[in-house]
Structure 1
Amino acid sequence: MKSRNLSWVFMVAFLMNSVLCLTLSLVCLFFNCSLYVEWSIFWVEGCKGAYLLLIDWVSMSFCSFVLFISSMVIYYSESYLEGDLMFNRFCLLVALFVISMMLVILSPSFISILLGWDGLGLVSYCLVIYYHNSRSYSAGMVTVLSNRVGDVFLLISIGLLISAGSWNIFMIESEIMYSTLLGVLIIMAGFTKSAQIPFSAWLPAAMAAPTPVSALVHSSTLVTAGVYLLIRFYSLYSDTSLVDIFMLISCFTMFMAGVSANFECDLKKIIALSTLSQLGLMMSVLFLGFWKLAYYHLLTHAIFKALLFLCAGGFIHNMMEYQDIRSMGGVSQIGVVSCICLSISSFALCGFPFLAGFYSKDLVLEMFEMNMMNIFVLIVLMLSVILTCSYSVRLLNYLVWKNFKNLIFFSFSENFGILFPIFMLSFWAICVGAMLMWMIFPIPEIVYLTLLLKGGLLLIMIVGFIIGYILSDLGVEESLLFNGLVIEYFSEMWFMMYFSGQGFIKNVLLVGDYSFSSFDKGWFEMLGGTMMYNEILKLSSGGVLIQFNSLKVYLLIYFSWIVGLVGIWM
């Protein structure tokens, strides 16, 4: 009962603060105002250490979404983790996770951002290893070490800001030297947190965490922190000549994630790869120069991605934690509401007309068609959109449309604790796209496109639906058209995890083990400590004879002393 009371306290607190933040966001947006609070704490060698608080429509709206999704996740977790003896610990970890995200969102000070950044990495490690098995420990280690790379870039930025006299990044925007270098460092930090190439290996590995945690991480907290940081400090790198290279990397991240998701069979990893694909899209449109549009898609994506994870978690929970989509099917006959909500979230992810994802994704693609000068990047982007529709339809075909495989036996039930958060998120997944567009873009964006380009986006989505349905019917992951190495290459993200995760770490550990056994326990030991020990032991053995109080030894020493004295005198 205590754990239930704690979860209700957090849920109500998060929900009430979400409403408050949304109200403040609307006030700041409609009246075009913001509040900046600075609290000076200490001075170090001319550098002022202060806690900064920036309240504007961007920070307040994102806080509102984070708190609302967190409240739904905690309510959902009460049924999902029913009977868990450590549910109190789970609630406290989620609360710490949200507080760390608030530090990143609300303050433009690099000290506060670093505290929240490290807090996200540490608490995510605790949540990934929540089930305490070897797979969770390995995934947690990859996650926390990958996020530590981003901490290094932030620490370098803090060191540079000391010479500027303040850790407030808005104070040095006029310094071209600092702003350009800090912009590149912020981009690299955002790439590690948002799992862009080559830091993508940790994102699917983090699926070892409980599904409610995955819903929170992939919708509005950990992986979106990098995108939010780049949105907040967009002015630092907007004029950097390296923006085109970073945009190309983001497009390839989106393409790579889409290809891998079409060959993946783990339900949670497919959704994780879809998150990686959308993060690449946000980064791409951000480097194109439309930070408001990237932020708009960030908010809409948070809603339908949380809904997608919670629906998948309901299926996994009722199927005794089984996650292979090849052994699922026929769920629409026993879980009607969950299947309807899963379809809503999947079609919103594809950009189906008049759902939340349609308003943001359609506008993003139109801006690319209007402003993109590189046809290669545009082709990669369109192929990525086709792949997004393809793996979404493939997932729906395996779970909902196909018949039951009879490979697993389960008792499916839809209780109120699971259905209520899903229903709330489904409502917002339908309405939030249009509502946010009215608020963020009160003056409609004028799009100049031909009928072919305008209708081509809908045609691309239809082509993706057809390809996904064909691939799921053919069973491409078991098809003779692809051998095992090809399938492993695509499903393992182009073998990226072997370079940035398991493979590299394994080789380093093997080298360390060899050097330890050959040098530390080999040559260094025999020529160092062990040899000295043996020699000292031999020298001390003579002293041991004296300590035995032997009469022969004493007489021998005495006569030797006499002979020595006689020799000296003579």
Structure 2
Amino acid sequence: MSVCLVYFFSFFIFSMVSLLMSLNFMSLDYSVVIEVEMVSVNSCSVVMSLLFDWMSFLFASFVLFISSMVIFYSLEYMEGDLNINRFIMLVAMFVFSMLLLIFSPNLISILLGWDGLGLVSYCLVIYYQNVKSYNAGMITALTNRLGDVAFLMSIAWMLNFGSWNYVYFLDFMNSSVEMSVIVGLMVFAGMTKSAQIPFSSWLPAAMAAPTPVSSLVHSSTLVTAGVYLLIRFNFCMGYWSSIILLFVASLTMFMAGLGASYEYDLKKIIALSTLSQLGLMMSILSMGGYVLAFYHLLTHALFKALLFMCAGAMIHGMGNKQDIRFMGGMIFQMPVTCSFFIICNLSLCGIPFLSGFYSKDLILEVVSMDFLNIYVYVIYFFSTGLTVAYTFRLVYYVIIGDFNFYSFHLISDTGNVMIKGMAGIIFFVVLMGSVLSWTMLSVPYFICLSFLMKMMTVIVVLLGGWFGFELAQLMFGHVSKSMNYIYSTLFFGSMWNMPFLSTFGVNFYLLQGGESIHSSIDQGWSEYLGSQNFYKNLSWYSKFLQIFHENNLKVFLVLTLMWIVFLILMMF
């Protein structure tokens, strides 16, 4: 407990200091690069570089604040765990890796943070030590490894510039071939870390980790690392990398919304919601709105962290049940937690005037103003409608519907520590959107739209809420049991079969091919023509010679007789 409190207080104090520094740097339009010489051998110096500007300080303050609340929340959530100190140390290592990534202008030191996130996330996903956790940990680690390969290749390409400090080359080398290759590799690395298609399957699988870890991962650390890196590289993104990223991210947003509408696991619904919001950030980033992407990243971090904390409190109260079909009428059992849960869900939907509204509504209106195609416009607004749909479906199952748990239960808001941890974030969920819009957006966005397009966001939100309510009633009552409905549920609910493709699709055909090669070549023609054939021939020759060795006297006498006959014939 003492370790938890030490980390809680230190992270909280540092987050407040970092926030003040960010506001100071923002008002002065100021940035500092500090280079610290770590070691110098024969005039070759190893230098550690740190970049301090308003963006890095602001993001670090959010990471530290959410981490402090999550650690405080873990005091009660992980109570009774024999290894709670190890858990807290792992979370602290996770946060330090993220901070190293945030403050680094150098690809080598970013790689340390990047790989630190991947390694510690593996340790946290397999924390409960069962088969499901091990499988989830492997798919998480191996998918992130793909991005690490791209990262290492981009480090090799940076040798063309003579330095790994990418911030020095963003402006005047952005049209070079080398920088376009580096940005392409960075886009690939960001897609793996932020779970864009086709690397999406690890994100719901990582829900095997303890809920406080999920709260931290999905709000401000692991999945946002890719978005933050691409925000830094935004000035160098070329036409094709932007177009590909826009298409993939918009498709991810749509796929995650559909998947969440058919899911029954509480944590997986919120995880798919994160995936949808990551697609939103990536797509607006690819259109050049890097400030908007960063703005939504921060507001999303607050309400998503609190959503997972509320879900953890519910799971904790229900004896580790995560299926939403067991829940219902929770507002009567856990009124405070459910109030927080509803506020976060409304913020996720973009209901005025919560924090999610300020960033999400602004993004949608900027997309409406942009000169793009009908595909982008339709998929943006349809995905927004799906966000409201799965949110209302979740609220219907958890809060509005009938209570479906055991008759004798002990579900209540008695967890004072967890409630205090959640209460620390709820004020920021309500207020921080407007505060960030006043501070970050020094020049307000001028939105000029027709009345119908301006009202399009509200219309989509209302239609999505209605669709989600109808979908929940349909699935709750099991009205349709036709094969088409079952197949569509299986397809949409399994993220377009991506988990199967990324596991069986990767190893099944290789294993099958290995088995056929083993049976047809190693134990087939290779055996027949190689060692077995050699063995058969040698054994046949040896058996043939053995006949002569065993009958040598007979053979000698026969040959003698033949020789005498030959001589007699020659005499005549």
**TM-score normalised over the length of structure 2:** 0.88
How far apart in 1 are the matches of 2:342 and 2:532?
A: 69
- Is the aligned partner of 1:487 residue 2:489? yes
In 2, are the aligned partners of 1:318 and 1:412 still within 8 Å (CA)?
yes
In 2, are the aligned partners of 1:49 and 1:166 still within 8 Å (CA)?
no
Shift of 1:338: 0.5
Structure 2 gap ranges (5+): 539-572
Q: Structure 1's 513 and 97: CA in aligned 2 closer, same or farther, altered over 3 A?
A: farther
Shift of 1:527: 9.0
CA RMSD of aligned residues (A): 2.5
Matched residue, 1:54:
51
Q: Structure 1's 355 and 125: CA in aligned 2 closer, same or farther, altered over 3 A?
A: same
What are the within-5 Å matches in structure 2 for residues 79-478 of structure 1?
79-173=76-170, 174-175=172-173, 176-237=176-237, 239-406=238-405, 410-414=409-413, 415-475=415-475, 478=478
How far apart in 2 are the matches of 1:324 and 1:100?
A: 33
Matched residue, 1:561:
none
In 2, are the aligned partners of 1:258 and 1:273 still within 8 Å (CA)?
yes
Q: Which stretch shows the higher mean deviation, 318-327 or 170-179?
A: 170-179
Amino acid across the alignment from 2:401 = K
Describe the SS at the equivalent of 1:501: helix
Shift of 1:46: 12
Matched residue, 2:546:
none
In 2, are the aligned partners of 1:131 and 1:209 still within 8 Å (CA)?
yes
Q: Which stretch shows the higher mean deviation, 294-303 or 434-443?
A: 434-443
Shift of 1:484: 2.5
Shift of 1:503: 3.6
Shift of 1:506: 3.4
In 2, are the aligned partners of 1:319 and 1:408 still within 8 Å (CA)?
no
Shift of 1:50: 2.8
Shift of 1:524: 7.2
In 2, are the aligned partners of 1:52 and 1:107 still within 8 Å (CA)?
yes
Describe the SS at the equivalent of 2:16: helix
Matched residue, 1:496:
498
In 2, are the aligned partners of 1:263 and 1:487 still within 8 Å (CA)?
yes
Describe the SS at the equivalent of 1:38: strand
How far apart in 1 are the matches of 2:407 and 2:521?
A: 52
Q: Structure 1's 476 and 405: CA in aligned 2 closer, same or farther, altered over 3 A?
A: closer
Matched residue, 1:8:
5
Matched residue, 2:549:
none
Shift of 1:112: 0.7
Describe the SS at the equivalent of 1:53: strand
How far apart in 2 are the matches of 1:398 and 1:290?
A: 36
How far apart in 2 are the matches of 1:282 and 1:477?
A: 35
How far apart in 2 are the matches of 1:330 and 1:340?
A: 13
Q: Structure 1's 171 and 332: CA in aligned 2 closer, same or farther, altered over 3 A?
A: same
Question: Percent identity, aligned pairs only?
Answer: 47
In 1, are the aligned partners of 2:160 and 2:178 still within 8 Å (CA)?
no
How far apart in 1 are the matches of 2:29 and 2:112?
A: 30
Q: Which stretch shows the higher mean deviation, 400-409 or 283-292?
A: 400-409
Shift of 1:249: 1.3
The size of the alignment, in residue pairs, is 533
In 2, are the aligned partners of 1:331 and 1:399 still within 8 Å (CA)?
yes
In 1, are the aligned partners of 2:97 and 2:113 still within 8 Å (CA)?
yes
Shift of 1:523: 7.8
How far apart in 2 are the matches of 1:319 and 1:116?
A: 36
Q: Structure 1's 529 and 337: CA in aligned 2 closer, same or farther, altered over 3 A?
A: farther
Matched residue, 1:25:
22
Q: Which stretch shows the higher mean deviation, 38-47 or 127-136?
A: 38-47
Shift of 1:459: 1.2
Amino acid across the alignment from 2:481 = L
Q: Structure 1's 433 and 159: CA in aligned 2 closer, same or farther, altered over 3 A?
A: same
Shift of 1:38: 1.7
In 1, are the aligned partners of 2:270 and 2:308 still within 8 Å (CA)?
yes
In 1, are the aligned partners of 2:19 and 2:58 still within 8 Å (CA)?
yes
Matched residue, 1:539:
none
How far apart in 2 are the matches of 1:527 and 1:132?
A: 48
In 2, are the aligned partners of 1:47 and 1:166 still within 8 Å (CA)?
no
Q: Which stretch shows the higher mean deviation, 162-171 or 35-44?
A: 35-44
Shift of 1:308: 0.5
How far apart in 2 are the matches of 1:98 and 1:240?
A: 34
How far apart in 1 are the matches of 2:86 and 2:153?
A: 34
How far apart in 2 are the matches of 1:519 and 1:49?
A: 52
In 1, are the aligned partners of 2:33 and 2:51 still within 8 Å (CA)?
yes
**Could you list the per-position Cα deviations for residues 504-528 of structure 1 after superposition, in whole angstroms to 9, with x for gaps in the alignment?**
2233344445656776688879998
Q: Structure 1's 403 and 534: CA in aligned 2 closer, same or farther, altered over 3 A?
A: same
How far apart in 1 are the matches of 2:25 and 2:407?
A: 53
How far apart in 1 are the matches of 2:137 and 2:417?
A: 28
How far apart in 1 are the matches of 2:401 and 2:391?
A: 14
How far apart in 2 are the matches of 1:476 and 1:503?
A: 33
Amino acid across the alignment from 2:247 = L
How far apart in 1 are the matches of 2:166 and 2:37?
A: 15
Shift of 1:163: 2.6
Matched residue, 2:510:
508
Q: Structure 1's 381 and 366: CA in aligned 2 closer, same or farther, altered over 3 A?
A: same
In 2, are the aligned partners of 1:263 and 1:476 still within 8 Å (CA)?
no
